[in-house]
């Protein structure tokens, strides 16, 4: 049976719920729309659409200090705008944060405006010593839980990066 992007959204939601995530703060990316639609309809979560990605960092960091599990969901371009917030809040205070983003600009992404993400996204994460896990296949989705727990162990942020093949599937209408 061919999987659908809704199935992937559901698997991601189940994985997030399994590790105690309650708050999900998001900004959209076309690749993420099914994930966002899934979590906003799922009453295991409080979904907060935010005005900019830094606000998601602030919300999730505050939720941590109130003992609520959380995750920030955004596109690759959004991640590129949050370096200050992550380094000033999460690094300075050693506040854990699970950040989920798209691996834009990699092979298979036909959008020229994401070339810069292909060139610099991973290098920027490396530059700030931010660990990340790339999730390319459905059977790798449990890496979300593993990454979430790792943030709690090391008291630092970690990112999981979703590929196009995971979120849009080969042969799916290109967007």
Q: How far is the CB of 63 from other proteins (least distance, A)?
A: 4
Q: How far is the CB of 138 from other proteins (least distance, A)?
A: 25
DSSP label at residue 130:
-
Q: Nearer to other proteins by C-beta: 96 or 105?
A: 96
Q: Nearer to other proteins by C-beta: 24 or 141?
A: 24
Instruction: Give the Cβ contact number of residue 22 at 10 Å.
Output: 15
Q: Nearer to other proteins by C-beta: 84 or 126?
A: 84
Q: Nearer to other proteins by C-beta: 10 or 22?
A: 22
Q: Nearer to other proteins by C-beta: 73 or 167?
A: 73
146 burial (CB, 10 Å; 0-12 / 13-18 / 19+) is: middle
Q: What is the dihedral of CA 93, 98, 47, 16, to 10 degrees?
A: -140
Residues lying near other proteins in the complex (CB under 8 A): 23, 46, 48-52, 54-55, 57-68, 70, 84-85, 88-89, 92-95, 149, 152, 155
Bridge partner list, 28: none
d(CA 69, CA 42): 15
Q: How far is the CB of 110 from other proteins (least distance, A)?
A: 31
Span between the terminal Cα atoms of the chain, in Å = 23
Give the pair of three-digit tokens for residue 16. Answer: 């997030």
Q: How far is the CB of 18 from other proteins (least distance, A)?
A: 13
- Residue 26, SS3? strand
Q: How far is the CB of 65 from other proteins (least distance, A)?
A: 5
């Amino acid at each position: 049976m061919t999987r659908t992007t809704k199935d992937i959204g559901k698997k991601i939601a189940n994985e997030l719920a399994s590790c105690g995530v309650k708050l999900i703060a998001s900004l959209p990316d076309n690749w993420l729309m099914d994930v966002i639609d899934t979590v906003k309809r799922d009453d295991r979560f409080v979904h907060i659409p935010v005005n900019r990605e830094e606000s998601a960092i602030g919300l999730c960091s505050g939720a941590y200090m109130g003992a609520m599990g959380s995750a920030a969901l955004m596109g690759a371009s959004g991640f590129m705008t949050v370096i200050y917030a992550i380094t000033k809040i999460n690094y300075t205070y050693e506040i854990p944060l699970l950040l989920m983003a798209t691996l834009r600009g990699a092979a298979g992404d036909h959008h020229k405006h994401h070339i810069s993400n292909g060139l610099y996204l991973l290098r920027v994460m490396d530059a700030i010593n931010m660990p990340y896990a790339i999730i390319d296949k459905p059977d790798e989705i449990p890496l979300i839980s593993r990454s979430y727990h790792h943030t709690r162990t090391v008291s630092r942020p970690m990112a999981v990066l979703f590929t196009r093949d995971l979120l849009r599937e080969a042969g799916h209408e290109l967007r």
